[in-house]
């Protein structure tokens, strides 16, 4: 098939550090090429791919909100893909809201994979209004929980994200005695909760996370005062190999989110290395974590006490079970198999 993959222009594909959407786009694109499809990737000019790369706006625009506040350059990027639509059997868009406007008049099928929340109060209401207007376009969700945010959208499939397991080696006996928190430094992802849990049970906490400029005041005022380089260690953004080492040698990964995270790559990255996950029961957590087998799911009303109790029981979790759950459910092969079924339906 002749496939156009449309990525956002804010970060390169794959990302050099943080960037879940771009990581999944890269894995999907590369596997489609391996399977013999004719793939064109519309992404920033500093992207690296074995597909045909088209970069209308040059290098990545940046993920700090400066360019996101203006639609002009992203629209140039997206519209270049749609101007070439007849070169493809279909377009697989990861462009989200702006892509909906362009897809409406497309002469070839378009499918949208959404990487954000649909829930009221978690995205601006104007964005939910756009989704309402374009609700009959083709949507692929990345979890059943994501669909519940706007159940009336025209979903033609649900495809869980997948990993390349070679990049996440299994660690049977971790070298560390620390807890791990990974993510973007923002309140809804629970960095302060993770710190409080670690402080109360007197276990070291290692944190690895990106800080967008808009979130820097939160980091400096709320998180940074707890970072002492010993009990709470903050590494900032890390490259994949460094992050994988932290995953593999942790006792557990804390994931105390308070929003409807549509998937959460952190969970499957941790499990792939054999490290169980302790998470609040929000978003896709119950679809990814098998409570009592690959981690512990804590009702959010139990708060920090519930998370502390979960840490005390984490030794009962089999690290091999964690790895096996990813091997059976969240591989790149399984993800691309599902997308190929959707593509065949489209054409």
For the ranges 55-59, 211-215, 222-226, the one whose mean pLDDT is highest: 222-226
Question: What is the structure's pLDDT at 72?
Answer: 87
- Whether the link from the prior residue into 14 is cis, omega within 30° of 0, is yes
Residue 84 in this model has a pLDDT that exceeds 70: yes
Residue 67 in this model has a pLDDT that exceeds 60: no
Q: For the stretch 264-286, what's the b/e string if a residue is b when 16 or more beta carbons lie within 10 angstroms of its beta carbon? A: bbbbbbbbbbbbbbbbbbbbbbe
Compute the distance between CA of residue 58 and CA of residue 314 in angstroms, rounded to an integer.
47
The closest of 259, 302, 257 to 277, measured between CA atoms, is: 257
Task: Specify the pTM.
Answer: 0.93
- The single-letter DSSP state of residue 220 is I
Please say whether the beta carbons of 247 and 273 come within 8 A: yes
Strand order of the β-sheet with 90-93 is: 52-54, 38-42, 2-6, 90-93, 110-113, 138-141, 155-158
Averaged over 302-318, what is the pLDDT? 96
- The single-letter DSSP state of residue 295 is E
Q: What percent of the chain has pLDDT over 70?
A: 98
Question: What is the structure's pLDDT at 55?
Answer: 94
Residue 69 in this model has a pLDDT that exceeds 90: no
Residue 66 in this model has a pLDDT that exceeds 60: no
Averaged over 179-186, what is the pLDDT? 96
The 3-class SS string of 116-152 reads CCCCECCECHHHHHHHHHCCCCEEEECCHHHHHHCCC
Q: What is the pLDDT of residues 236-293, one digit of tens each?
A: 888 888 999 999 999 999 999 999 999 999 999 999 999 999 999 999 999 999 999 9
Half-sphere exposure of 127 (CA within 13 A, CB side): 16
Q: Per-residue confidence at 68, pLDDT binned at 50, 70, 90?
A: low
Compute the distance between CA of residue 280 and CA of residue 181 in angstroms, rounded to an integer.
13
Q: Per-residue confidence at 61, pLDDT binned at 50, 70, 90?
A: confident
Q: Per-residue confidence at 65, pLDDT binned at 50, 70, 90?
A: low
Burial class (CB in 10 A: 0-12, 13-18, 19+), 293: middle
Residue 98 in this model has a pLDDT that exceeds 60: yes
Structural domains of the chain, with CATH: 2-162+331-346 (3.40.50.2000), 165-329 (3.40.50.2000)
In which region does residue 141 sit, left (phi positive, over 0), alpha (psi from -120 to 50) or beta (all else)? beta
Mean pLDDT taken over the chain: 95
Residue 64 in this model has a pLDDT that exceeds 70: no
Question: What is the structure's pLDDT at 63?
Answer: 65
Please say whether the beta carbons of 83 and 106 come within 8 A: no
Q: What is the pLDDT of residues 151-169, one digit of tens each?
A: 999 999 999 999 999 999 9
Q: What is the pLDDT of residues 188-198, one digit of tens each?
A: 999 999 999 99
Q: What percent of the chain has pLDDT over 90?
A: 88
Question: What is the structure's pLDDT at 202?
Answer: 95
Q: How many CB atoms lie within 10 A of CB 213?
A: 11
**Backbone phi and psi for residue 134, each to the nearest 5 degrees, phi listed first:** -105, 30
Question: What is the structure's pLDDT at 213?
Answer: 86
Question: What is the structure's pLDDT at 321?
Answer: 98
């Amino acid at each position: 098939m002749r496939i156009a993959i449309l990525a956002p222009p804010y970060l390169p594909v794959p990302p050099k550090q943080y960037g879940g959407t771009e990581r999944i786009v890269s894995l999907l694109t590369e596997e489609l090429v391996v399977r013999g499809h004719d793939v064109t990737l519309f992404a920033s000019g500093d992207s690296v791919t074995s597909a045909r790369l088209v970069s209308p706006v040059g290098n990545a625009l940046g993920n700090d909100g400066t360019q996101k506040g203006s639609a002009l350059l992203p629209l140039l990027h997206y519209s270049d893909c749609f101007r070439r639509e007849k070169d493809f059997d279909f377009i697989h868009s990861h462009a989200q809201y702006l892509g909906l406007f362009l897809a409406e008049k497309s002469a070839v099928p378009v499918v949208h994979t959404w990487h954000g929340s649909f829930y009221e109060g978690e995205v601006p209401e104007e964005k939910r209004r756009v989704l309402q207007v374009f609700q009959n376009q083709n949507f692929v969700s990345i979890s059943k929980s994501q669909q519940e945010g706007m159940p009336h959208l025209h979903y033609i499939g649900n495809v869980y994200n997948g990993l390349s397991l070679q990049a996440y080696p299994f660690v049977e006996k971790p070298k560390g005695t620390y807890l791990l928190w990974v993510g973007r430094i923002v309140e809804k992802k629970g960095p302060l909760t993770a710190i409080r849990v670690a402080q109360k049970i007197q276990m070291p906490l290692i944190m690895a996370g990106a800080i967008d400029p808009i979130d820097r005041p939160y980091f400096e005022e709320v998180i940074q005062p707890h970072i002492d380089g010993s009990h709470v260690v903050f590494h900032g953004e890390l490259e994949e190999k460094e992050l994988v080492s932290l995953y593999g040698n942790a006792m557990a990964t804390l994931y105390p989110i308070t929003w409807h995270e549509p998937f959460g790559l952190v969970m499957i990255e941790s499990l792939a290395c054999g490290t169980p996950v302790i998470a609040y029961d929000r978003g896709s957590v119950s679809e990814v974590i098998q409570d009592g087998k690959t981690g512990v799911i804590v009702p959010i009303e139990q708060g920090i006490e519930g998370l502390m109790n979960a840490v005390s029981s984490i030794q009962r979790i089999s690290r091999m079970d964690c790895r096996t759950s990813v091997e059976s459910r969240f591989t790149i092969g399984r993800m691309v198999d599902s997308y190929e079924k959707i593509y065949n339906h489209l054409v």
